[in-house]
Structure formats: structure tokens, C-alpha cells
Structure 1
Amino acid sequence: MSSTRRRAQDAAVDLIGAEGIRALTHGRVDAAASLPAGSTSNHFRTRAALIAGVIEGMAAAEREDAGASAIRSRDDLVGALSRMIEVQSGPLAGRTRARYALFLEADADAAQPLREQRLGMEAWIHGILLELGSPPAAARAPFLMAACEGLLLHRITVDPDAPIAEVVAVAVDAALAS
């Protein structure tokens, strides 16, 4: 991927996260990325292509962020999920806001990379719960994901200082309960 394309994607995410999806224009992305006028249009010809490119870039960045840390215990899982929420509601809060805005505004086809990313995350949680618990625990992966997503949304909209680890621990314990 070219550095100009990546810069445009990153600037677009920052723009959406700070000002909402309606602020997304090719010219504003060029300005935010300190690119020559027309650069974003060279990579994303239409607004729909720009939105799709932003979603694609965001999903790739989130896959990189998730990494593949080894989770071998309940405490490892609580720690990993807590760290993810801390980062997504702290230093990466703009990207989180942009993701929510794009989910709400993008058409189903454009948002597909984010949906695939979400499904991959759920499969990862499912596997961990299966390894730590049992098939019934693994079936609670959507519950655990919803609890973490709710906490993340709460932190970026209502209370940025809401406790994380304590809430995640309760959700993990509920998912692992027999």
C-alpha cells in the first residue's frame, strides 16, 4: 500500500472520529493529511470508495492491534480485554468513534470489512472461552463481546473514567460460569 493512500486513510479516520462522517470530503482529507490537493481522489475516486477505503484500513489496523497474545487463564483474558478497552477508549478513541459512525452511516457492502473484523474477534473469544471453560462457555462469546462493546461505548460517550477491569472480570466470570 502506498504511503499516500495510508496517510489519507489515517487522516480520514481522524477526521471522522473528531467531526463525524459528514466532515469526510476528499479535500478535507487532503488537508488533514498534508497532501497535495487531489491526492485522496487519486486513490479513492468517489466518496463511497473513500468510505470503503477508510473501513478497509481501519479493519486492517485493528487486526494488527489485536495481535495474538497467549491467553491461558481467566486473568489473562480479563487483562487482554481490559487493555483493549483502555486503548480503544483512550489513545484510539477517535478511531473507535469513527468505527461507530461508519457502522451507522456506511451501506452494508462498505461496512463488510468491519463486520468481518468483528466476527473474527468473536471467533477468537469463542476459542478462548472453549479452551478456558467448556462448550457452554464458548457459546457465551457474543455475550462477552456485547458486554465489552457496551463498556467501550459507555467510556467514549458518557464516562471516560468508568472502571474497566472490574466490569470485564464480572463479564468473563459470567461467561465462564458453569
Structure 2
Amino acid sequence: MSSTRERALNAAVDLVGSHGIRALTHARVDAHAGLPPGSTSNHFRTRAALLGGVASWIAEEETRDLGAVLAQPFDDVDGFIDLFSTGIELLTGRFAVRTRARYALFLEAAADPALFAPLRAQREGFEAWSRSLLVSLGARDPDTALHAFMAFGDGILLHRLTIDPEAPVRPSVDAAVRGLLGG
């Protein structure tokens, strides 16, 4: 059974991902998690602390869930395309609510950069992983390829989360990766 803190964080992520950042209050989290009133504030005294807890929780959960996928070995460009496509499909399918919550926090972090720290650290790890893979796959200019690759990833995530949840992933990933690798 999960702890009160975990129940509160899962409920908070669900509220933000389903109803937006304004839905995040201690009372709503308690109600959504089925916790006694005041439970969430025992762990996160202020709204800022709750936002920070949610950001850290999202980074931890995504790292755990995607880590298993991204750690799978592959031998060639097609294997990388399959791996990346699977990650996009997870983030916009099974974990879509959490991904929406992450994007809501990105926008909130414009006013509070400290809030972004756990998500930024997670992204930096993903960027380092992606850059090393692009180098191993033969990217001629790995830094430029990395920036374009990350922008493409954000774009396809937002497209599937907001416009077309059923948009095919693999053909777009294939075109982007092969384009970035120069062929």
C-alpha cells in the first residue's frame, strides 16, 4: 500500500494533468486521494512546497518508467527509432496525464525557476543519453542534432497530447532521426 505522501502526490499529478495547475490545492488533493483533510499539508506546508514535491515526483516516476524502456539495447538506427517511438507512445498514452502535468509545471516554472530544478535535471540526463546515442549513430553535428531532436520530441508530445492522440509516432520519429543523421 502506498504512503499518504505517495497518495497525495499521485492525486496532485492527476489533478494538474487533468484539470490544470489551478486545480492544485491541498484540500482538492486530500479529497482526490481520499485522505483526511490536512493530510497533504502535513507533507507539503505551502503551495510552493506542494508544487516542488509534484515536480520531483514526476521526474522520479518518469525516470523509473522510461528508464526501463530506454535501457533496452538496440543495434542500429531502426532499433533506436523503435525505442524512441515506444517512449513517445508511453508518454502520450499510458502516462498522458502525468506528461500534461509536467508541461503545466514547465509553464508555472517561468515564474519560479527553482520549481523547474528536478525536471531540468531529468531533462539534462535525457539530453546526455540522447547526444551519446546520436554520436554513436553517426550524427555529423551532434550538438545541432541534439537540439533539433529535443525540439522534435517536445513537438510530437504536444501534438499527441493536444491535437491528435492517435497520430502515428514511428513514421515521424523515423523521418526526424534519419534527417538528423543526414540520410
Q: TM-score range by the shorter chain?
A: over 0.9
Could you state the TM-score of these two structures normalised by the residue count of structure 2?
0.92
Give secondary structure in 1 for the equivalent of 2:75. Answer: coil
Q: Answer whether contact 1:72 1:132 (CA < 8 A) is retained.
A: no
Shift of 1:138: 5.5
Counterparts of 2:123 and 2:178 in 1: how far apart (Å)?
A: 22
Question: 1:22 is aligned with what amino acid?
Answer: R
Counterparts of 1:6 and 1:71 in 2: how far apart (Å)?
A: 34
Q: Answer whether contact 1:132 1:176 (CA < 8 A) is retained.
A: yes
The alignment status of 1:50 with 2:43, answered yes or no, reads no
Give secondary structure in 2 for the equivalent of 1:27. Answer: helix
Residue 109 of structure 1, aligned match among 111, 114, 117: 114
Runs of 4+ in 1 over 3 A off after TM superposition: none
The alignment status of 1:159 with 2:164, answered yes or no, reads yes
Name the % identity.
53
Shift of 1:137: 3.8
**Per-residue CA distance 1:132-166 (angstroms, 9 max, x = gap):** 21452454112111112101100111111111000
Alignment of 1:1-178 (within 5 A): 3-67=3-67, 68-106=71-109, 107-134=112-139, 136-137=141-142, 139-177=144-182
Counterparts of 1:88 and 1:64 in 2: how far apart (Å)?
A: 13
Counterparts of 2:125 and 2:178 in 1: how far apart (Å)?
A: 22
Counterparts of 1:90 and 1:169 in 2: how far apart (Å)?
A: 19
Gaps in structure 2 of 5+ consecutive residues: none
Q: Answer whether contact 1:12 1:24 (CA < 8 A) is retained.
A: yes
Give secondary structure in 2 for the equivalent of 1:111. Answer: helix
Worse overlay, 104-113 or 129-138? 129-138
Worse overlay, 90-99 or 137-146? 137-146
Aligned pairs, how many? 177
Worse overlay, 133-142 or 168-177? 133-142
